[in-house]
Structure 1
Amino acid sequence: MSDNNAVAQAVPADVDDATNKMAIRALIPLLITFILGTLCLQGFNLVFQQVGADVGAPAQASLITAFPSIVLGIVCFIYGSLGDFVSLKKLVVVGLVTLLVGSIFGFVANYLFEPNLWTVIIARVLQTAGEQVAGSAYLVVATKYLKNSLKVIFFGLFTAGYQLSASIGVFAAGLLSSIAWQFLFLIPAVTIVFLPLLLKNLPDQNGNGEKVDGLGFAIFGVATMFLTLFFSYMNWWLLLVAAVLFIGFGVYITKAKNPFITPAFFKNTRWLMAISLIAVFYFVNYCISPIFNAIGRDLYGMETSTVSTYLVWAFICAAVFGTTSGLIVGKIGTQAAVITAACLMMCGFLGAAIFINAGFLALTLCACLFYAGVGLLYSPVVSTVLGTLPTEESGRGVGMNDLVMNVTASIGISIIGGLIGATSLQSGSIVGATGAAAGYSNLLLICGAVILLGLIVYLVFRKKIYAAK
């Protein structure tokens, strides 16, 4: 049995034409909203060290990325999971209003008044919590209300939109870093104009009509927050609190009358194996921009604005491969697409480590390899994971995908970001680099090893993942 046929067995029967058309009309503004929100996110990922210096807190600069990433992971899970229970229209209203409030607050508080670390973080948290409603609603609509033949294509468009927004975000951040980074806050504010169109085309169904398990969401969300904070601060009490909460959550779902997620969900071994791929592959997803920004500054004497003009081409490569990923998967199959994507990502890191002193153009070509793999990876991996779940759990599947994808990435940026410029990595490198170049080369090799681990996990588990139910 081919891998594509195995996935097909897990998807539901096709929806009717009217529902399919409604979904497409809703997906376009959702995608644009997601693109503008992600543009802001990627922009701050590039310049967070400069922002930290400007607000007088350079040592805490990583929190500007880490805290919104934590919130992103939590709201991804909540928004996606709520798609099984409540109206997507209500979620969209709450999300877009929150995004608007965060955008205006961030600009006013940090441009018209003295910039402050916590006003930046609060604004970014509000923006992140608001913009992700578009991403989660997009995936829920694509999973539940699109024809099966269009799902892989729209998953591909989703990652293409993400990478396109990342490319524009990097370019915009580089430009605005020399003017005023505060203007980054205003970019996603315009998405409020899409609210009437989305309310008209989003489905009216309120999920399954069950009461929302607020306590379950709260326990799981807070546990996830403490786990991610542990990797930011490395205080063991944070890990202990997270462990206690996760254990409590496990006990809760076995006793609660209508938990939002049941123990049976976590006993799905095919899903557990598939979701582990996301946990590993996306660990270094946020790392290229800050690493290359630091390399440009420390090794080549480049300004952030100059670095961004190079990196933008890598994100464009990701957008191209994301757009064509549906066609590529159709030609070579899901398994071959995942393997190819992982090899491209790994070669990108390895090449950058080897050619660390060969010039920034050579490094940019390596970044293009990495992001081509990122663009290709999303569609086959997400369709693989969702293919292990029944239709009635698709919203929770989307939520868990996003949770793992963003929390593991936030943990990755906290760990890797803390190692940027670390003298402990500068003693030497197997590629022959010395000093600061050796440190960055070793950091890139570590990132490449993470992708290699993901590829090994996939090769070991793939037969079981694609096995018929």
Structure 2
Amino acid sequence: MTESITTAAVDPFDDPETSNKMAVRALIFLLITFILGTLCLQGFNLVFQQVGKDVGAVQQASLITALPSIVLGIVCFIYGSLGDFVSLKKLVVGGLAVLFVGSIFGFVANFFFDANLWTVIIARILQTAGEQVAGSVYLVITTKYLKPSLKVVFFGLFTAGYQLSAAIGVFAAGLLSSIAWQYLFLIPAVTIFFMPVLLRCLPSKSGNGEKVDWLGFTIFGLATAFLTLFFSYSKWWLLLVAVVLFAGFAVYINKAQNPFVTPAFFKNIRWIMAICLILVFYFNNYCMSPIFNAICRDVFGITNSATVSMHIVWAFLVAAFFGTTSGAIVDKIGRQTTLIIAACLMIVGFAGSAFVISTGIIALTLMACVFYAGVGLMYSPVVSTVLDTLPKEQSGRGVGMNDLVMNVTGSIGIAIFGGLMSSDALAGGSLVGVTGHQAVYSNLLLIAAAIALLGLVIYLAFRKRIYAEN
């Protein structure tokens, strides 16, 4: 009787060797789930205007991408943080179930019945909330259960999967939009068949046993939602509500008995310096593609989106390649050197694009490939650097904060750059000797290069302190 109880209590994740094997199996299926979900997201980002036209809501079509993006920013943080408190199995089961329901509902409601804007939006929100569980749990498992030499490899595979899904999403959306865009909903539905394997491979532990601080999560989630809405719609009352909620959250974590994150978390100086790297390096993360598209349209006169996508897709594939190989690169030359090279590639990609703006689409594509090589190479060393500043028991919250900062800072960046793209404020002239539209885009590219350079300067100034206890 005693022997059977002891055997049942054994968790393969308690042993470092079996932990690695089980984690790798789980990570493969989580990565496929994340790729399929992101592919669906990228597909709808490409065809949302056509969907809006088909459902008779052209003016509101942007909500198809805007509202799920807001949900994504919130759940990224919440799922990662919940990884410290609740069972990863429960998170994954819930996420796959929500993803499957959203996929089937979206297809059935919009294919067999009259397509409607809100059935599309609701289905996309459910899909987004469901698929992000796979991404967050993937990062938590990588951080908590893999040996250090494998962490950078799987961080690299994660960003490679994201970039690859973006590339495939461009083609999938173009193909399916000519048949019926409703089929996009079904792409991630197959992940429901991964559930038996994931249930066997995920750890049996049910978090740390502490009660989940739902009130704290709610306050912080609402504050994040209003902040994201502000940068999407530029309404100052949204920013005011966000500030009030964040202030209330600060008071709450100082007074609550067991908040999900304590004030001490934000007093970790090494973590603050490291998270600033993500804040700066990912500020321009979403800017290259829209600037590339605008240059093709306004400078080169290419209005066919299919032609543009045939060029930008090479940049996504380059990012996927460097993301895949980043683990081997870090292992060969070290994390610090890799991060510096990645930053330099991003700087050269932005600045180079500014200087070839009049040359032609081939030169611009090559510079975009240089930038995305830096993006693919950057993720693994910078994320592992940030997470290494936190104790293992806080790694879930670290993953959540990383995802939150990446999404929010990227949203802020694209909102600011998008506003400048549509104005004439930078049209007077440029360092590269052009005017008009070319001056606007070249100046924006140079500003983006300067921001990436700032990130490199911050890293070089503080890296000794960041790695002090490693």
8 Å CA contact 2:74–2:404 kept in 1: the answer is: yes
Higher-RCO chain (CA-CA 8 Å, sequence separation at least 6)? 1
Q: CA deviation at 1:56?
A: 5.9
In the other structure, the counterpart of 1:339 is: 340
In the other structure, the counterpart of 1:3 is: none
3-state SS in 1 of match to 2:280 = helix
Q: Quick check: 1:164 aligned with 2:152?
A: no
In the other structure, the counterpart of 1:132 is: 132
Paired with 2:90 and 2:131, the residues of 1 have a C-alpha distance of: 14
Q: CA deviation at 1:464?
A: 1.5
8 Å CA contact 1:174–1:304 kept in 2: the answer is: no
Q: CA deviation at 1:105?
A: 3.3
Q: CA deviation at 1:357?
A: 2.5
Paired with 1:366 and 1:462, the residues of 2 have a C-alpha distance of: 28
Q: 2:350 corresponds to which letter in structure 1?
A: F
Q: CA deviation at 1:443?
A: 2.9
Q: Quick check: 1:456 aligned with 2:445?
A: no
Give 1:299-314 correspondences, 5 Å limit.
Answer: 299-314=300-315
3-state SS in 1 of match to 2:212 = coil
Paired with 1:54 and 1:289, the residues of 2 have a C-alpha distance of: 26
Give 1:344-423 correspondences, 5 Å limit.
Answer: 344-423=345-424
| Unaligned runs of at least 5 residues, structure 1 | 1-12
* 1:55–1:316 distance in 2 versus 1, CA, 3 Å: same
Paired with 1:221 and 1:125, the residues of 2 have a C-alpha distance of: 15
8 Å CA contact 2:302–2:308 kept in 1: the answer is: no
3-state SS in 2 of match to 1:284 = coil
Q: What are the Cα deviations for residues 167-216 of structure 1, in whole angstroms up to 9, with x where unaligned? A: 11123234445554443332222211111111121111001111100000
Paired with 1:98 and 1:228, the residues of 2 have a C-alpha distance of: 23
* 1:43–1:440 distance in 2 versus 1, CA, 3 Å: farther
* 1:14–1:318 distance in 2 versus 1, CA, 3 Å: farther
Paired with 2:104 and 2:379, the residues of 1 have a C-alpha distance of: 32
Paired with 1:307 and 1:460, the residues of 2 have a C-alpha distance of: 39
Paired with 1:391 and 1:95, the residues of 2 have a C-alpha distance of: 24
Over the residues paired in the alignment, what is the CA RMSD in angstroms? 2.3
Give the % identical residues.
Answer: 75
Q: CA deviation at 1:445?
A: 2.7
Q: CA deviation at 1:264?
A: 0.5
Give 1:39-50 correspondences, 5 Å limit.
Answer: 39-48=39-48
Q: What are the Cα deviations for residues 369-414 of structure 1, in whole angstroms up to 9, with x where unaligned? A: 1110011001100110010001111111111111111222223233
Paired with 1:362 and 1:385, the residues of 2 have a C-alpha distance of: 35
Q: What are the Cα deviations for residues 311-336 of structure 1, in whole angstroms up to 9, with x where unaligned? A: 12111111111111111112222121
Paired with 1:410 and 1:55, the residues of 2 have a C-alpha distance of: 27
In the other structure, the counterpart of 1:26 is: 26
Paired with 1:323 and 1:425, the residues of 2 have a C-alpha distance of: 38
Q: CA deviation at 1:238?
A: 1.0
Q: CA deviation at 1:422?
A: 3.2
Q: CA deviation at 1:14?
A: 9.9
Paired with 1:50 and 1:381, the residues of 2 have a C-alpha distance of: 37
In the other structure, the counterpart of 2:243 is: 243
* 1:175–1:437 distance in 2 versus 1, CA, 3 Å: farther
In the other structure, the counterpart of 2:4 is: none
* 1:97–1:291 distance in 2 versus 1, CA, 3 Å: farther
8 Å CA contact 2:77–2:401 kept in 1: the answer is: yes
Q: Quick check: 1:80 aligned with 2:84?
A: no
Paired with 1:98 and 1:282, the residues of 2 have a C-alpha distance of: 29
8 Å CA contact 2:149–2:331 kept in 1: the answer is: no
8 Å CA contact 2:216–2:260 kept in 1: the answer is: yes
Larger CA Rg, structure 1 vs 2: 2
Paired with 1:344 and 1:177, the residues of 2 have a C-alpha distance of: 35
Paired with 1:201 and 1:342, the residues of 2 have a C-alpha distance of: 36
8 Å CA contact 1:319–1:375 kept in 2: the answer is: yes
3-state SS in 1 of match to 2:429 = coil
In the other structure, the counterpart of 1:228 is: 228
Paired with 2:453 and 2:382, the residues of 1 have a C-alpha distance of: 16
Paired with 1:267 and 1:371, the residues of 2 have a C-alpha distance of: 33
Paired with 1:149 and 1:23, the residues of 2 have a C-alpha distance of: 14
8 Å CA contact 1:279–1:404 kept in 2: the answer is: yes
In the other structure, the counterpart of 1:36 is: 36
Paired with 1:421 and 1:58, the residues of 2 have a C-alpha distance of: 20
Q: 1:256 corresponds to which letter in structure 2?
A: A
In the other structure, the counterpart of 1:445 is: 446
3-state SS in 1 of match to 2:340 = helix
In the other structure, the counterpart of 1:428 is: 429
Task: After superposing the two structures, state which structure 1 stretch, 174-183 or 240-249, moved more.
Answer: 174-183
* 1:121–1:452 distance in 2 versus 1, CA, 3 Å: farther
* 1:367–1:261 distance in 2 versus 1, CA, 3 Å: same
8 Å CA contact 1:278–1:381 kept in 2: the answer is: yes
* 1:425–1:191 distance in 2 versus 1, CA, 3 Å: farther
Q: CA deviation at 1:62?
A: 4.7
8 Å CA contact 1:14–1:148 kept in 2: the answer is: no
Give 1:13-162 correspondences, 5 Å limit.
Answer: 15-48=15-48, 51=51, 62-112=62-112, 116-162=116-162
8 Å CA contact 1:103–1:185 kept in 2: the answer is: yes
Task: After superposing the two structures, state which structure 1 stretch, 153-162 or 100-109, moved more.
Answer: 100-109
* 1:327–1:240 distance in 2 versus 1, CA, 3 Å: same
Give 1:309-324 correspondences, 5 Å limit.
Answer: 309-324=310-325
3-state SS in 1 of match to 2:331 = helix
* 1:369–1:148 distance in 2 versus 1, CA, 3 Å: same
8 Å CA contact 1:95–1:131 kept in 2: the answer is: yes
* 1:463–1:409 distance in 2 versus 1, CA, 3 Å: same
TM-score where L is the length of structure 2: 0.90
8 Å CA contact 2:103–2:188 kept in 1: the answer is: yes
Paired with 1:294 and 1:59, the residues of 2 have a C-alpha distance of: 21
Q: 1:275 corresponds to which letter in structure 2?
A: I
Tell me the matched-pair count.
457
Paired with 1:69 and 1:360, the residues of 2 have a C-alpha distance of: 30
Paired with 1:135 and 1:273, the residues of 2 have a C-alpha distance of: 25
